[in-house]
Structure 1
Amino acid sequence: MPSLFRRKGLMTILIGFIILVALIGFSMRDRSELSVPEKFLQDSVGWLQSVFHAPVQLVDNTYQNVQNMLNVYDQNEVLKNRLDEYKGLIQENQQLKKDNDELRGTLDKTESIRDYTPIQGTVIARSSDRWFKQMTINRGEEHGVEKNMAVITGEGMVGKVQSAGAFHSNVQLLSGFDESNKISSWIVREDEDNAFGLIEGYDSESGRLLLEGISLDEELEEGDVVMSSGLGGVFPSDLRIGTVDKVENDRSGLTKTAYVEPFADLFDITHVMVINRDMQTVSEEEQEAGEEQ
């Protein structure tokens, strides 16, 4: 009996194998249509693949999106850093250009005031409470700076030395001048003699210097140039101060007051020159002797 069951089992396996081979051969033939079992099997496999593929694809897409976001963030940080560097370079270039222009201006001014001894200096501090009236420069008595010496930029006069230390000095700006700090000045006019006046103060509302004591007979026009006269003995002559902006009679009605627009920007100063009052002019005899040679 056992041998009979074994023979039936072997026969069953053999028949199944033959049927499998036949099905494989049948499925491998070139056919225009699939059989119903093949269609069912193909659809079942496809459906299972879709079921498993969807979450896998979702996870993969999510991972790719996160990876792309991280890459975009990193790239954005790099671009922001480069943009900051670019802005810094622009600002540095602008500052260098500004310093270069100021230095060129002071150099040109040095060549134009050879009758005086210029002392080059740099502004190192401006106090917050006296920003509009005072500043500190890196030149002092050891460099030849003395109290009351005129201070100019390449554009024009900005003030005078208020106090001089050994290596640093405080400069009183024109915007801090009052009646105790006067500048004897000439108003230069075309085809007319110079008119006399005194810089005696500063109008903070208009940002103009006050040129007082002008004779009522003097006819001034907007744009007339104001320069130091040198008559007071404190400041050298021919230092550019500003231009006439407006003229009106003073309160007494005996003289005129001119509002003067300074040539120099009193609130943006970096490089200055301190002008030595001791003029180093060449005498007429020396000039004539030089010409004869």
Structure 2
Amino acid sequence: MKLNRFQKILLWLIGISLSLSLILNVVSVTTPFSEISRQGYNVFSMLKYSLIDYPVTTVTDFFTSFSRLWQVRQENDLLRTQVDQIASLQGQLAEAERQIEELKQIADLKTIVSDYDLIPSTVLSRTQEAWNNLLTIDVGSADGVGLNYAVITPKGLVGKVTKVNEHTSTVKLITAEDGLNKVSVKIEIDEGKTVDAILVRYDSNEQAFVMQLLTSGATVTEEMRVVTSGMGGVFPSGLLVGTVSKVEELSNAVGMNIYVRPSADFQSFNYVCVVRRQGASQ
């Protein structure tokens, strides 16, 4: 077998080491020691340490330290990966807890709202381009959904059904800014007293609905509740829309702009209920 250069050097070093060891052992057992033999023994010992023992020990320590360092690095990489996974799992857990809470609110809503049949559903899609306009839910005609049925979350009204398929439906949100989404509402002035109004449009800058009164002489103040009146024939009466956030007198002193802050969080919901009047055909 042909040896490479490294193997030849290694065999040469081993041969020198064995030769020195043999000579030193012979010298060490020779008695009595003469001064020359002592000096020779010391020289051979020094050569053996310098050429064999120290280099071998140094190389061995280096590879041992390198092996430990590599092991520590692998452990650190593993710990770093586990920390990243923990952060991801914490985010998933928080989202799961939020969805569970939302489902609990939907269940409570079905108990509270007894005047209507509620069809619970999950939001399937809501594109960024139509974020404030449209979304798709996972119930359709097979589940009893019909056109123009109101859609709510536990916090309030969010839209109406505009397209129905067998197992899915399209919902137009009341935050759509096309000017074709008017909602008949009433403002709760005092206990048992309301004023009729209409939601004209959604103002994305104010993040509120612009509302106009249908009657004059009423005093409207901030934080008054606004609910659907049922007068438009689309949305049932009594669904919460929001609260008055700002009242502006018009420059011509003829009327006022009233802004209504939505009660529903339009930026974050995964579950909704379709509202169907009891007795409506399925």
TM-score between the two structures when normalised by the length of structure 1 = 0.77
User: 2:97 — aligned with what?
Assistant: 97
Aligned residue runs from structure 1 range 97-176, under 5 A: 97-176=97-176
Instruction: Give the counterpart letter for 1:188 in structure 2.
Output: E
Which is further off, 124-133 or 112-121? 124-133
Does the aligned pair in 1 maintain the 2:174–2:181 contact within 8 Å?
no
Q: 1:217 to 1:58 in 2, by over 3 A?
A: farther
User: 2:273 — aligned with what?
Assistant: 273
Which is further off, 36-45 or 250-259? 36-45
Residue 205 (structure 1) shift: 1.0
User: 2:14 — aligned with what?
Assistant: none
C-alpha RMSD over aligned residues: 2.8
Aligned residue runs from structure 1 range 1-293, under 5 A: 24-26=30-32, 38=38, 41-42=41-42, 44-46=44-46, 48-176=48-176, 178-190=178-190, 193-213=193-213, 215=215, 217-250=217-250, 253-278=253-278
Equivalents in 1 of 2:57, 2:104: separation in Å?
Answer: 68
Deviations 1:133-172 (A, max 9, x none): 1100011111111111110011111111111122111101
Does the aligned pair in 2 maintain the 1:216–1:254 contact within 8 Å?
no
Instruction: Give the counterpart letter for 2:65 in structure 1.
Output: N
Unpaired stretches in structure 1, ≥5 consecutive residues: 1-19, 28-33, 281-293
Aligned length: 255
Which is further off, 80-89 or 232-241? 80-89
Deviations 1:57-78 (A, max 9, x none): 3322321233123212322332
Q: 1:133 to 1:36 in 2, by over 3 A?
A: same
Deviations 1:112-151 (A, max 9, x none): 1111010111100112321221100011111111111110
Equivalents in 1 of 2:231, 2:57: separation in Å?
Answer: 93
Residue 215 (structure 1) shift: 4.7
Residue 94 (structure 1) shift: 1.2
> Residue 197 of structure 2 aligns to a residue in which SS?
strand
Residue 254 (structure 1) shift: 2.7
Q: 1:276 to 1:106 in 2, by over 3 A?
A: same
Residue 277 (structure 1) shift: 3.2
Does the aligned pair in 1 maintain the 2:143–2:167 contact within 8 Å?
yes
Does the aligned pair in 1 maintain the 2:119–2:273 contact within 8 Å?
yes
Residue 44 (structure 1) shift: 4.7
Equivalents in 2 of 1:133, 1:253: separation in Å?
Answer: 33
Equivalents in 2 of 1:75, 1:175: separation in Å?
Answer: 52
Which is further off, 137-146 or 171-180? 171-180
TM-score between the two structures when normalised by the length of structure 2 = 0.80
Following TM superposition, the consecutive aligned residue runs of length 4 or more in structure 1 with deviations greater than 6 angstroms are none
Which is further off, 36-45 or 182-191? 36-45
Instruction: Give the counterpart letter for 1:108 in structure 2.
Output: D
Which is further off, 268-277 or 179-188? 179-188
Q: 1:115 to 1:191 in 2, by over 3 A?
A: closer
Does the aligned pair in 2 maintain the 1:136–1:170 contact within 8 Å?
yes
Q: 1:76 to 1:94 in 2, by over 3 A?
A: same
Does the aligned pair in 2 maintain the 1:222–1:243 contact within 8 Å?
yes
Deviations 1:227-252 (A, max 9, x none): 11122221111111111111113466
Residue 47 (structure 1) shift: 5.1
Equivalents in 1 of 2:165, 2:215: separation in Å?
Answer: 40
> Residue 166 of structure 1 aligns to a residue in which SS?
coil
Equivalents in 1 of 2:255, 2:66: separation in Å?
Answer: 81
Does the aligned pair in 2 maintain the 1:235–1:277 contact within 8 Å?
no
Does the aligned pair in 1 maintain the 2:201–2:211 contact within 8 Å?
yes
Deviations 1:28-75 (A, max 9, x none): xxxxxx968536633651453144333223322321233123212322
Which is further off, 45-54 or 167-176? 45-54
Equivalents in 2 of 1:227, 1:218: separation in Å?
Answer: 17
